[in-house]
Amino acid sequence: MSDRKLQVIPLGGLGEFGMHSMAIRLDDDIIVIDAGMMFPEAELLGVDIVTPDFAYLEQNKEHVRALILTHGHEDHIGAVPFLLSEVNVPVYGTAFTLALVERRLDEHDLRDQARLNVVKPGESIEIGPFRIELIHVTHSIVDSVAVAITTDLGIIIHTGDFKVDPTPTDNKLFDLHTLADYGRRGVLLLLCDSTNVERPGFTESERAVRPRLEDAFSRTEGRLVVSCFSSSIHRLQQIVDLSAQYGRKVAFLGRSVLQVTEIAHNLGLLELPDGILLRPQDVMQSPRSRVTVVASGSQGEPMSAMSRVAVDNHRNLSLTPGDAVLLSSRVIPGNEKAIFRMVDHICRRGADVWYGTMNPPLHVSGHASVEELKLVLNLVRPRYFVPVHGEYRQLMKHAMLARHMSSAWLEEAFLLETGQTLEFDHRGARRGENVPVGRLCIDSGTLDDVVEDLVIRDRRHLSEEGFIVPIIAINKLTGTHEGLPEIVSRGFVSTDDSAVIIGRAKEVVARTLRESTPEERSDWGLMQEKIRVDLKRFINREASRRPLILPVILEV
């Protein structure tokens, strides 16, 4: 026993938002908690998603026993296909979480070789020297759990993402009793969500949204369009229930919301009354006062259902005066411009838009505020504490909170960042050696397109494929384009072939502009994306090449 060593190895999610992944190692046995992704910053041109670098797990793949998932948000499961492609280990999680993982694995043709194991909250499993129990917690997505890991050297509890919701819409309460039982038994280490540590008080219950939703249903005479995160099953259930109460049928628009609602309904997590559903193609033919539409794209993502509806370019829905649009989600930092541009477009349709901070609220957080964090600390009473899931300022504030609460049971709060390890033995805890970590930039979302180094990747891309810059002049007042588009290319095709392909590429750009509405042409972000997609498809078909395409729109 005196020679045994327990290690906590953060592979992502400490000092940053997203890419949550934590390895726990006892001698030569490793389990991994979560494998998440994050979306790239604006400067990462050509990158679709970013995942942790799992080099440490690949180097020790013969020791990795399992992957445990706390819940189904992309920042916790988005990198599962990329991890399993290198280290194919059994995966454990709740039914809804694994159903969302299956969808991701299908996209990468990995479903048949994956070993998925459904575990219910309250159940325990034995994996090597680890005894693992999943503890039900409340969060903004259903089937969320904390993980209690019992080892010979002590108990580790990882909260995952959570808030303490006293009145959850599904009536499944946070299992505080089990958490308290572990606290009485003695917990070596608590790893706790730090996302909302800067917010005082308690996070509002999901039920706090209902009065605002009821207000919208009672006041809206036309169609009611609601956009929220597709994984927010609690929110979707309230929308469905209110639609039934007010005599409206519900149509779902957008691939993500269709897939997630189908999964939730099949698992019995989303109740749909008989006759409540309306086919998207029947929305415009139905009485406006009898229609609720749930559309994906609350963050103003280009080409999402809500963005298309906003510029009147969706085949199944057109907004008219008297309709109301509810953006029932938070504004993710960095998305402000896209969201408010979408709101402007909706306003041009004459529809009423509900968004932002309201009282009662239109959206509530899924993460614990200060008083809930104090509650969990008091129940668990860990010997050691490590804040997780947050940028450095949040981790520091959470560590300070724990230190100020008690010196009777807390020996130390360690402030770690990704790659910095913590070691335990019979003498206690200390910092260990750093492990290799980093970020992998994924281009086109496929396993074959991992960008090992962004600079090298860009140079290689440009040297092998070249680049194309379509230049379009658009009149700011009229929304019309001035003259034919110009196209500048370098390193793309030989001079002999260039004239023909570039000439036809101009026609593609001109057609895209011609088939877009004046309002779409006034939205530069949307037009750049449409031109890039159409030109990429044309060049790949005609020349089997993938040049870097950077549309430039000039205001005249």
- Report the DSSP pairing between strands 249-253 and 291-295: parallel
Q: Mapping DSSP to helix (H, G, I), strand (E, B) and coil, where does residue 237 land?
A: helix
By residue count, the chain amounts to 556
CA distance 10 to 440: 16
What is residue 207's DSSP assignment? G
Q: Is residue 444 part of a domain?
A: no
CA distance 370 to 413: 17
Domain that includes residue 347, residue range:
206-354
**Which of 354, 382, 416 corresponds to the end of one domain?**
354
Q: Are residues 219 and 96 in the same domain?
A: no
Do 449 and 81 touch, CB atoms closer than 8 A?
no
* Residues whose CB falls within 8 Å of the CB of residue 459, separated by 6 or more in sequence, listed in order: none
CA distance 511 to 410: 66
Give the global pTM. 0.83
What average pLDDT does this structure show over 126-153? 97
Q: Is residue 433 part of a domain?
A: no
User: Does residue 227 register a pLDDT over 50?
Assistant: yes
What average pLDDT does this structure show over 477-503? 72
Q: Are residues 124 and 43 in the same domain?
A: yes
Q: Is 426 a catalytic residue?
A: no
Query: Could you tell me what percent of the chain has a pLDDT over 90?
Result: 69
Q: Is residue 448 part of a domain?
A: no
User: Does residue 141 register a pLDDT over 90?
Assistant: yes
Q: Are residues 391 and 316 in the same domain?
A: no
Q: Are residues 38 and 78 in the same domain?
A: yes
Average pLDDT score, the chain: 90
Q: Is residue 245 part of a domain?
A: yes
What average pLDDT does this structure show over 184-197? 97
Selection from 6, 12, 40 nearest residue 25 by Cα: 6
Q: Is residue 36 part of a domain?
A: yes
Listed as own residue / partner, the contacts of 124-127 with beta carbons closer than 8 Å and 24 or more positions apart are 125/92, 127/29, 127/31, 127/65, 127/66, 127/92
CA distance 207 to 203: 11
**Which of 303, 335, 354 corresponds to the end of one domain?**
354
Q: Are residues 91 and 148 in the same domain?
A: yes
What average pLDDT does this structure show over 302-325? 94
Residue pLDDT, tens place only, 431-456: 999 999 988 877 655 555 555 555 55
Which DSSP string corresponds to 351-376?
Answer: -EEE-SS-SS-S---SS--HHHHHHH
CA distance 268 to 262: 10
CATH number, domain containing residue 523: 3.10.20.580
Q: Are residues 408 and 371 in the same domain?
A: yes
Q: Are residues 276 and 370 in the same domain?
A: no
Q: Are residues 412 and 480 in the same domain?
A: no
Q: Is 34 a catalytic residue?
A: no
Q: Are residues 90 and 220 in the same domain?
A: no
- The 10 Å Cβ neighbour count of residue 402 is 21
The lowest-confidence range among 281-285, 299-303, 466-470, 481-485 is 481-485
Task: Give the C-alpha distances (Å, rounded to integers) separating 136 from 139, 159, 178, 448.
Answer: 10, 10, 9, 36
Tokens at 351, concatenated: 């529809």
β-strand partners of 135: 146
CATH number, domain containing residue 151: 3.60.15.10
Residue pLDDT, tens place only, 352-365: 999 988 888 999 99
Estimate the crossing angle of helix 176-185 against helix 370-380, to 10 degrees.
40
Residue pLDDT, tens place only, 396-408: 999 999 999 877 8
Q: What is the pLDDT of residue 1?
A: 47
Q: Is residue 440 part of a domain?
A: no
Selection from 471, 487, 472, 493 nearest residue 546 by Cα: 493
- The 10 Å Cβ neighbour count of residue 274 is 6
**Catalytic pick among 136, 345, 367, 389:** 367
Query: One-letter amino acid identity for 292?
Result: T
Q: Are residues 517 and 542 in the same domain?
A: yes
**E strand or H helix at 408:** none
Q: Are residues 195 and 210 in the same domain?
A: no
**Catalytic pick among 34, 143, 165, 193:** 193
Query: Could you tell me what percent of the chain has a pLDDT over 70?
Result: 91
What average pLDDT does this structure show over 506-527? 83
Count of domains for the chain = 3
**E strand or H helix at 531:** helix 524-543
Rg of the chain over Cα atoms, rounded to whole angstroms, equals: 25
Residue pLDDT, tens place only, 36-64: 998 776 555 556 788 999 999 999 999 99
CATH number, domain containing residue 215: 3.40.50.10710
Q: Is residue 61 part of a domain?
A: yes
The sign of the torsion formed by the CA atoms of 16, 58, 154, 183 equals positive
For residue 142, count CB atoms less than 10 angstroms from its CB and return exposed for 0-12, middle for 13-18, buried for 19 or more.
buried
* Residues whose CB falls within 8 Å of the CB of residue 177, separated by 6 or more in sequence, listed in order: none
CA distance 71 to 146: 9
**E strand or H helix at 515:** none
**Which of 427, 444, 464 corresponds to the end of one domain?**
427
Q: Are residues 176 and 44 in the same domain?
A: yes
Q: Is residue 16 part of a domain?
A: yes
pLDDT band at residue 297, thresholds of 50, 70 and 90? very high
Tokens at 227, concatenated: 């956009």
Query: One-letter amino acid identity for 315?
Result: R
Write the Ramachandran bin of 313: left for phi over 0, alpha for psi from -120 to 50, otherwise beta.
alpha
Residue pLDDT, tens place only, 170-189: 999 999 999 999 999 999 99
Tokens at 408, concatenated: 């009777």
Q: Mapping DSSP to helix (H, G, I), strand (E, B) and coil, where does residue 405 land?
A: helix
